[in-house]
Homo-oligomer: A and B are copies of this chain.
Amino acid sequence: MAIASPDLDLSTLFAPRAVAVIGATGRAGSVGQAVFGNVLQHSYAGVVYPVNPRAVSVMSVKAFPSVLDIPDEVDLGIIIVPRDAVSGVMAECGEKGIKAAIVITAGFKELGGAGVELEGQVLQAARASGIRLLGPNCLGIINTEPRVSLNGSFARLMPRPGNIALVSQSGAVGVAALEYAQGEEIGLSKFVSVGNKADLNENDFLACLRDDPQTDVILFYLEDLAEPRRFFQLAQEITSGPKPKPIMAIKSGRTAAGARAASSHTGALAGSDEAYDALFAQCGVLRVETLKQLFDYALAIGMQPLPKGNRVAIVTNAGGLGIMAVDASVRYGLEIAPLQDATLEKLRQGLPPAANIHNPVDVLGDGREDRYRVALDAVLQDDQVDGAIVISTPQLMTDLPAIAATVAEVTPPYGKPTLVCQMALGEIDETLAIWTKARLPHYSFPEEAARAMGAMARYAASIQPASQEVKCFTDVDREALKNLLVRVRMAGRRHLLEPEAHELFRDYGFQVAPFHWAHSPEEAAWAAESLGYPVALKIVSPEVIHKFDVGGVRLNLNDPKEVSQAYREVLAAVAAAQPQADLQGALVQKMAAKGRETILGMTRDPQFGPLLMFGLGGTYVEIFKDVIFRVAPISEHWAEKMIRELKGFQIFTGYRGEPPADLGAIAQCLERLSQLVLDFPEIKELDINPLMVFPEGQGAAVLDARVFISEQ
């Protein structure tokens, strides 16, 4: 995979002065005809040359036997020749001085076998001449910018100009998206089908679209990421800068990933999909599920201001649809704004007595544009309203275009997002022009508007705070830890014994339940005396994985006699259950005070690097899988967000008379864990389970942990 320079100039790809379509033909139904026809027939502002050794002209345009025969300079080559001929053609392109090439021909890496090799040859040919290559196995590109107007693809449609760019890893999904956009009269700035990504990949286009003045919103359909870490950096920069551009992505294949072999809870719970979720969330990319959502949200975010919060006002001329909008709003995470007294008073004065002045505001079936004006002015002025959904249905006296015009006129000065839902398929045409001109996103159903508003609020809330500094803890003992890991490795082990794990976390500044590794009953009793009671006693043996199951754990021991007795019993029980186990004494550990059980963990993804996990501990982990993943390193902001995003977050907030939990301590543990796993790449996987979280101000302590290190 090529590492694209962040400053790569793709202007020859998107705005070439001259294009050669190599493999152009007039044969109906062929790709060569489709591509050449698209370039020729959609007002391309440059010059297009068909290249075909067996034709004098293609679609009446003079053809050339090879690019080398074209008398003028050519910037871009679009290649549709049989796959075995592609690398030869690429070499000719190089000789011609062509700077960018799109290989539409399929039959390469996607087929495996010889295809992989062929693709390598094509890439090599391109590299040899400094050609940047899109594809192979792609649909091509489209640039709707009027001064270029290039459809260099075999899609049947030329989208109308707009401010949304779409990059698709699947040609067919690209086509489906273009069809949908056309049907909904949605404009696009650029369209790119990245195909096999032999050279240029999504990151190159991300960098390019960042700087594209025609593009306000960037959409992706992805099946994988070529270089996740670079995508992360670019996306973070684009979404959080001074003039942020929203990025939305479908990443398909949620369910395709097979289970991976994992030693830890964290590893078992971390599918690749969780990694993508984490990555997208952290770099400000709104992940969506469907093409419909992609465009629904892009329109809202691309055309309207972002809401400052999630409180929505609904204005409708039909009560039933107002209720449905309320249900949907709540479902999509919005709050139904409680209107202030002054607002209610305005509504009372401006609307008829039968109108519902409370949110959802019902201007009634005979409500005309004047009532919409009153209602919208009132609710949008209200500080407690962050955005509005306007519903209009065709009732007897309803003048839908007049209502659309009123919404377009009234709402912009308030700087709050307004989405419209007109439930009349027949009259869309009359009102569409009004909405388009006013940049008002429109939806067919209240729930679609509510879902889009919910996405806007979620997106607005996810925008990064300016400072995202990752803390560096200095109260950590790297040397000690290094030595510890060397010792483990020298003992021929790939996992730490429990006392070693506690030592590791203690070295990295975690609060750890006081412990001692005892090697005799007497030492255990002595340790208990010095740690203080009650204590727990647990077998230490590299072979014993499930300590509880073999009688290897005793809890709540309260005096030295009990402790030494327990030591003997535990060793005897384990020896009986696992005669081969090498028993290395027992861990004597002070029992911790009552707290909330949580789990902290890390597993490494081959592409994404270390993934941190936080979740509710105990049975919760496995039954409810209420865990959150993030990619390390993480800032305090993200550590806090991880905690708050748990479904069961309420458990920490002083629920049911319990004191609130020490959230700061959890966040710090996460930040320390982040530093630990970056400092020690040889730590492969780990669980702290439980991390016992005490009331506010009392910290959080590691009570048990499993740490696995890599083979070398």
Report whether B254 and A327 are in contact in the complex, using a CB–CB cutoff of 8 Å: yes
Nearest B-chain residue to A327, judged by Cβ: B254
Residue of B nearest to A623 (CB): B648
Contact A323 B179 (CB under 8 A): no
A320, A326, A445, A655: most-surrounded residue (chain B CB, <10 A) = A320
Contact pattern, A 207-228, Cβ under 8 Å of B = 1, otherwise 0: 0000000000000010100000
Tell yes or no: A619 within 8 A of B by CB. Answer: yes
Of all chain B residues, the one with the shortest Cβ separation from A446 is B290
- For A171, list chain B residues within 8 Å (CB): 318, 320, 365
Tell whether A182 is near chain B: CB-to-CB under 8 Å: yes
Q: Which of A82-90, A419-427, A456-464, A534-542 is the interface stretch?
A: A419-427
Could you say how many copies of this chain the assembly holds?
Answer: 2
Does the CB pair B255–A175 fall under 8 Å? no
- Say whether A593 faces chain B, with CB atoms less than 8 Å apart: no
A154 touches B396 (CB 8 A): yes
Contact of A170 among B29, B321, B426 (CB under 8 A): B321
B179 adjacent to A34 (CB under 8 Å):
no
Which of under 10, 10 to 19, 20 to 34, or 35 or more describes the interface residues of A?
A: 35 or more
Bound complex: CA A156 to CA B647 (Å): 46
A624 contacts chain B at the CB level, 8 A cutoff:
yes
Contact of A176 among B31, B331, B393, B622 (CB under 8 A): B393
A169 CA to B324 CA, complexed, in Å: 13
A397 interface contact, C-beta 8 A: yes
B contact residues around A675 at 8 Å (CB): none
A223 partner residues in chain B, CB cutoff 8 A: 320, 323
Does any Cβ of B come within 8 Å of A180's Cβ? Answer: yes
* Shortest beta-carbon distance from A237 to chain B in Å: 28
Chain B residue contacts of A290, Cβ below 8 A:
324, 328, 445, 447
A664 within 8 A of B: no
Chain B residues with CB under 8 Å of A365's CB are 106, 171-172
Which residues of the partner chain B approach A258 to less than 8 Å between Cβ atoms?
Answer: none
Q: Are the C-beta atoms of A183 and B425 separated by less than 8 Å? A: yes
A111 at the B interface (CB under 8 A):
yes
Knowing A172-B318, A549-B657, A623-B655 are in contact, say whether A327-B396 is a contact too (CB < 8 A): no
Given A175-B393, A622-B656; 10 other pairs, CB 8 A cutoff? A29-B396, A29-B397, A172-B320, A179-B394, A290-B324, A622-B655, A623-B648, A623-B650, A623-B655, A624-B648
Task: Show 23 residue pairs from A and B whose CB-CB distance is below 8 angstroms, ordered by the A residue.
Answer: A29-B396, A30-B396, A34-B396, A106-B365, A168-B320, A169-B320, A170-B318, A170-B319, A171-B318, A171-B320, A172-B393, A172-B423, A175-B318, A175-B395, A176-B321, A180-B425, A252-B323, A255-B327, A256-B323, A289-B327, A289-B447, A622-B650, A623-B650
Give the 7 A-B residue pairs with the shortest CB-CB distance, closest first: A170-B320, A172-B318, A183-B425, A176-B423, A173-B320, A255-B330, A252-B323
